[in-house]
Amino acid sequence: MEVESRKLQNIVLEMCEYFKEREELVKLLILAVLSKQHVYILGSPGTAKSAIARAIASHFDAKYFEWLVTRFTTPEELFGPIDLTALEKGEYKRITANKLPEAEIAFVDEIFKANSAILNSLLSIINERIYHDGGIVKVPLNTLIAASNELPEDEKEFAALYDRLLIRYVVEYIKNDGNFEEMLKRSDDYTPKTKIAKDELKIMQEHVAKVDISPILPTIVELRRSFRENGIILSDRRFKQAIAVVKAHAFFHGRNAAATDDLRVLQHIMWDSPEQMRTVRSVIMDVVDPFARKVMEYKDIINDYTSKLQGKIDPAEVQEIMAKLKVIESEIKELSKMALSSGRDTAELDEILDEIQSLKVSMLDKMF
């Protein structure tokens, strides 16, 4: 297991060297492949969604298919043209070579633009791994990576499809100037070094299925109760499917039994709208790691203030934020002392303190 997890971690290192600020997404895609689950990526055009999907497929030596869906996309484009020879014999079949029904990893961009003719076939492929083509045909699909720039306008029409996309992630443009510069200098196509063959992946997936979750079952029950108390009602099926990703997370880190820390991955599973993300994350971290939850809370506050300063803001509001930052700064220093006394790393807290100082400078510029 140690050798296998090291290979998976090497894939993350290779991809993150090439795709800057995408470590979390890369890990989630690997977990999706290990657990045979599907992924939904929400993000603006030009955030490397399709490039990352292709790169993941190349590491697993998987038969890959990708397509950009529009309002005018026809079933032929995704599932193949009608087989005219078969039609002459009275059989309604498609030629599915190099199309979605034969893919092992697929990327479908702007998935919520799919019409009903495409939607029904998509659902059976991703949910049951079958395609109706003159009969029921089993498909080899391991993982579908779906993406869009926005959530579906017609929630009812796409509810079943959206529910089947278990892992959800919001991707943004590169933030760090240095990483942005590295991306601009990048010219070569991505070439994988570490490869995992189909037979090897199958063995890994068998190991994932055997990961022991008994140590964390009471915590999962507690989490469900906390979600409900915070107004987030999740289906039994979603919890059941999420367990497969939790197991994959444990396997990725070289463990044959799940630990409380593996439940962190649920923050990318248990939300329906981006507005729920912060609540979901807080509920999970309260149970999994209250210290980390507090750190994340401070980060969210600083991000909110940073965003606010991008627009117009009056001097009185700037002074109010300055006063709040002073209180937060004091709280963080106190938390840092507690962390040091218990042997915890304070690097993240130090980074937040640095961000506060930068924020103060920006606010002084706004005032004068």
- The separation between CA 332 and the C-alpha centre of its own chain, rounded to angstroms, equals 29
Largest CA distance in the chain: 82
- Which pLDDT score, from 0 to 100, does residue 365 have? 66
Alpha carbon 302 to its chain centroid, in Å, reads 23
Each residue of 50-74: pLDDT tens digit?
A: 999 999 999 999 999 999 999 999 9
What's the pLDDT tens digit per position in 284-319? 988 887 777 788 788 888 888 888 777 777 777 888
Same domain? 18 vs 47: yes
Choose among 100, 35, 112, 113: nearest CA to 73. 113
Q: Which of 242, 248, 344 is nearest to 291 (CA)?
A: 344
Q: Do 47 and 135 fall within a single domain?
A: yes
Which of 287, 303, 321 marks a domain boundary? 287
Residue 141: what pLDDT?
97
Q: Select from 287, 315, 347 the last residue of a domain.
A: 287
| Residue 13 located in a structural domain | yes
- As beta bridge partners, residue 148 has 42
In whole angstroms, what is the distance from residue 299 CA to residue 319 CA? Answer: 20
- Percent of the chain predicted with pLDDT > 90: 64
Query: Do 236 and 141 sit in the same domain of this protein?
Result: no
Per-residue pLDDT of 244-264, as tens digits, reads 999 999 999 999 999 998 999
In a domain? residue 28: yes
Report pLDDT digits (tens) over 132-144: 887 899 999 999 9
The distance of Cα 211 from the centroid of its chain, to the nearest Å, equals 22
Domain that holds residue 278: 210-287
142 and 103 inside one domain: yes
**Local confidence band at 97 (pLDDT 50, 70, 90 cut-offs):** very high
Output the DSSP codes for 304-352.
Answer: HHHHHTTS---HHHHHHHHHHHHHHHHHHHHHHHHHHHTT---HHHHHH
**How far is residue 234's CA from residue 209's CA, in Å, rounded to a whole number?**
23
Query: How does residue 118 score in pLDDT terms, banded at 50, 70 and 90?
Result: very high
In a domain, 191, yes or no: no
List Cβ neighbours of 349 (8 Å cut-off, separation of 6 or more).
295, 298, 332, 335, 336, 339
> pTM for the full model?
0.84
CA separation for the pair 67, 93 (Å, rounded): 21
Q: How far apart are CA 51 and CA 44, in angstroms?
A: 14
Q: How far apart are CA 174 and CA 158, in angstroms?
A: 30
Residue 156 lies in a domain: yes
Give the full edge-to-edge strand order of the sheet including 143-148: 64-68, 105-109, 143-148, 39-42, 167-170
One domain, residues 154 and 303: no
One domain for residues 39 and 130? yes
Q: Are residues 256 and 163 in the same domain?
A: no
**Average pLDDT, stretch 122-147?**
93
Q: Which of 266, 287, 308 finishes a domain?
A: 287
What's the pLDDT score for residue 367? 59
**Per the structure block, which two tokens stand in for 334?**
């106190």
- For residues 80 and 67, membership in a common domain is answered with yes
Residue 115 shares a structural domain with residue 231: no
The answer to whether residue 252 is domain-embedded is yes
35 found inside a domain: yes
113 and 259 inside one domain: no
Question: Do 82 and 152 belong to one domain?
Answer: yes
Q: Are residues 49 and 129 in the same domain?
A: yes
CATH number of 173's domain: 3.40.50.300
Distance separating alpha carbons of residues 226 and 36, to the nearest angstrom: 28
Residue 200 belongs to some domain of the structure: no
How high is the pLDDT of residue 351?
A: 87
Of 63, 68, 123, 69, which is closest to residue 98 (Cα–Cα)? 63
What pLDDT was estimated at residue 368? Answer: 56
As for how many domains the chain has, the answer is: 3
Which range is least confidently modeled, 85-89, 196-200, 276-280? 85-89
Q: What per-residue confidence (pLDDT) applies to 222?
A: 93
Residues 12 and 56: their CA atoms lie apart, in Å, by 10
> Does some domain include residue 231?
yes
**Res. 366 pLDDT band, cuts 50 70 90:** low
CA distance 344 to 223: 24
Is 27 a residue whose pLDDT tops 80? Answer: yes
Q: What is the pLDDT of residue 335?
A: 81
pLDDT more than 70, % of the chain = 99
